[in-house]
Amino acid sequence: MLRTILTLSAFAAGLLASNAMASPMADTAPRVVRAANDGGILVAQDGNLDIYYDARGNRVIVDAETGKVIAIQPPQTRLDRRVLRRERLRNLGPVEEDDPYYLDPEDTARFRRRQLEDEGRIIVPPADEYDPYGDNSMDAFPEAPRDDGYGNDYPEAAQPVRPRTIERQPLNEASIEPVEPTVPNEQAALPPDTAPPPDTGGKAAVDPSLSLGARQDVAELQVLLDRAGASPGVIDGRFGSNVGKALAAYNEITGSNLKSTDAVGIQAALAQSGGDAFASYTITPEDAAGPYVASIPEDYSQKAQLDRMGYTSVPEALAERFHMDETYLKKLNPDANFNRPGTIIKVANFGRLVATPVARIIADKANKQVRAYDAAGKLVAAYPATIGSSDTPSPSGTHAVSRVALDPNYTYNPNINFKQGENDRILTIPPGPNGPVGSVWIALDKPTYGIHGTPDPSKIGKTESHGCVRLTNWDARELAKIVTPGVIVEFVD
């Protein structure tokens, strides 16, 4: 028994001595941990690692056996940052993002914007920041040449590699020639707002987007009348006396019996005479370039100081080109920037002008209408008109056309004509569509009297004149091209 105890004691002492000798060797032995050539980490254990992320997003690799840090990897990708955020939320619960600059730049920008909004240092813009009339940047419009007398005082803007030069010309008689809009064969090619109204069982449909009493079905009727030579004046979507007179003239010209309430008949007549009443038109650089004048003064002495009685805006010029009321044109295109080339707008598709030569003209004072007949006595055109006034009545009886002038100037003579304001001397007012006689003068054999255009087309047939016969500029121009000197003009009461 004693021998067994001694033997076990000796064996235990040997084990202790063996451990004491092995410990220094293990502590001093080099650890087999090194950075791999490919950027990875090699450890002695078989993948027994713990991975942590510190507050700066560094990836910390710890030996699970010894608890020692093996490597620290800084964040290299957005994936690492996102892992950090998920790790913090999982281990610590919701954590306030006290330092957003360690996040990705997009998150940082959004965080800073929210901070500034909360502090009231910036104003949040509305949901729709597009202002069709608010683009005043230098590169919003094409550069205009400087050799036509209309200076450009804007600072120099950055020029494209190959700038397009726009040749600005005065708005002479060619400027209001009808530019026929393209009417596609397929409805799908038109903008959504040009699609025909839904089937209403023959009843007239009203466009709810139009205000002030304008109706789309009335505008379509006005376009139809205009195509046949029975002018309603301005196309404005309103049914008034001018439309009623034009409808009667339309029936006489075409031999039909169309009524304003016959929606089906109106649509059928439109389809036969040129298609949809409205079509799309793309504003050109020439449209935007002008030239335009800032405003037209009322006083004749101030008018005489201008170079030209031109248009004041792109909408005014385009409204006249397409026989439309300017306000109605804007109502049809509420989001359009008329000053920007390339803008697509909705316009009246009025068709071709009357080309049949005229042999006789009747100026109907009571009906406020001018009717033109061919050599066979057939009515070929009719126009609403302003004919004289009680103070300055128009001529009576029969007269004749003596000459025709397009884009004329106007000579104001208070000794012969009316007196305007305090002007008591002869003045010459330059030509232009906004001049006193518009863009056309058809002189009669009675001095100082004639048929002419107007700067206010929406007032035709609703106001008085100084004795002459006043038409819209486009109606006066159409008539000027189908009359010749010697054509009889008969004034009837």
DSSP 407-448: S--EEE-TTTS---TT--S-EEEPPSTTSTTTTEEEEESSTT
Amino acid at 96: E
Amino acid at 474: W
pLDDT for the residue 172? 39
Spatial separation of the C-alpha atoms in residues 194 and 266, rounded to whole Å: 17
H or E stretch at 52: strand 49-53
Other Cβ atoms less than 10 A from the Cβ of 136: the count is 10
* Model confidence at 183: pLDDT above 50: no
104 vs 461, higher pLDDT: 461
* Model confidence at 246: pLDDT above 70: yes
Q: How confident is the model at residue 464 (pLDDT cuts 50, 70, 90)?
A: low
Other Cβ atoms less than 10 A from the Cβ of 463: the count is 12
Spatial separation of the C-alpha atoms in residues 177 and 230, rounded to whole Å: 18
Give the residue-averaged pLDDT of 306-312. 93
Give the residue-averaged pLDDT of 239-254. 95
pLDDT for the residue 150? 35
| Per-residue CA distances from 76 to 34, 41, 56, 200, 259 (Å) | 21, 16, 12, 65, 78
Per-residue pLDDT of 471-490, as tens digits, reads 999 999 999 999 999 999 99
423 vs 302, higher pLDDT: 302
- Per DSSP, the residues of 257-282 read ---TT-HHHHHHHHHHHTS-SEEEEE
* Model confidence at 135: pLDDT above 90: no
Spatial separation of the C-alpha atoms in residues 361 and 271, rounded to whole Å: 31
> What tokens were used for 127?
């949901």
| Per-residue CA distances from 432 to 56, 304, 410, 473 (Å) | 73, 12, 10, 10
Dihedrals φ, ψ of 245, to 5°? Answer: -65, -40
Contacts of 408 (CB under 8 A, 6+ apart): 431, 435, 437, 440, 441
* Model confidence at 20: pLDDT above 50: no
pLDDT for the residue 179? 45
Contact (CB, 8 A) for 171 and 406: no
* Model confidence at 373: pLDDT above 70: yes
Q: How confident is the model at residue 65 (pLDDT cuts 50, 70, 90)?
A: confident
pLDDT for the residue 480? 96
52 vs 184, higher pLDDT: 52
Specify the range with the lowest mean pLDDT, choosing from 26-30, 294-298, 434-438, 447-451. 26-30
Query: How far is Cα of residue 96 from the mean position of the Cα atoms in its chain?
Result: 47
pLDDT for the residue 163? 41
Specify the range with the lowest mean pLDDT, choosing from 70-84, 97-111, 275-289, 459-473. 97-111
Dihedrals φ, ψ of 154, to 5°? Answer: -75, 150
Contacts of 425 (CB under 8 A, 6+ apart): 414
Rounded to two decimals, what is the model's pTM?
0.59
Give the residue-averaged pLDDT of 293-307. 90
Which residues are catalytically annotated?
452, 468
Q: Which of 190, 150, 192 is nearest to 292 (CA)?
A: 150
Spatial separation of the C-alpha atoms in residues 489 and 493, rounded to whole Å: 13
The alpha-helical segments, DSSP class H, found in 163-261 are 216-227, 241-254
Q: Regarding beta strands 344-348 and 360-364, do their DSSP bridges make them parallel or antiparallel, or are they unpaired?
A: unpaired
pLDDT for the residue 160? 41
Q: How confident is the model at residue 385 (pLDDT cuts 50, 70, 90)?
A: very high
The total number of residues written for the chain in this structure: 493
pLDDT for the residue 421? 78
Q: How confident is the model at residue 271 (pLDDT cuts 50, 70, 90)?
A: very high
Contacts of 94 (CB under 8 A, 6+ apart): none
Asked if residue 291 has a cis previous peptide bond (ω within 30° of 0), the answer is yes
* Model confidence at 91: pLDDT above 70: no
